[in-house]
Amino acid sequence: MNDKVISIESADGPHQLVLKRIWRMVPDRDKDDLELKRLLAFRVRVDGEAVTSEYLMRKIRDMIQCAYKGRLFDFLKGGGGSGGCHPQSPFTDPPEIA
C-alpha cells in the first residue's frame, strides 16, 4: 500500500510549480497544514490549476462569509461550519414592500 502513496515533498515536475502558485492563496494561519497541502496537490493533479484556483477562491470566500474560525482543510472537507453555514447570494430579490 505504501507504493501507492506519493509524498508531495518528493514529487517533482510541473505540478510543484503549480502547487506553489496555488499555495499563495492559502491564508497565513493555514500555511503549515500538511493535510491541506496534500489535498490541494491532489486537486491540482486531478483538476488542473485553473479549476483548483477557482475552487479554492470560492471556498475561502465562503469561509469568510460564514465567519468560520477553524482550519481551512476542515472547511474544504465539509466538517466545518457547524449549523451548515450557507453564504447568502449577493443577488437577492428586493423586498415586497419596496
Residue 42 — pLDDT band, cuts 50, 70, 90?
A: confident
What range does the domain containing 43 cover? Answer: 14-77
| 96 in a structural domain | no
How many separate domains does the chain show?
1
| 21 in a structural domain | yes
Global pTM? Answer: 0.70
pLDDT tens-digit series, residues 58-86? 999 999 999 998 999 999 998 554 445 65
| 83 in a structural domain | no
pLDDT tens-digit series, residues 84-94? 565 555 555 55
- Per-residue three-class SS string for 59-96: HHHHHHHCCCCCCHHHHHHCCCCCCCCCCCCCCCCCCC
With a CB cutoff of 8 Å and minimum separation 6, the contacts of 95 are: none
Do 97 and 90 touch, CB atoms closer than 8 A?
Answer: no
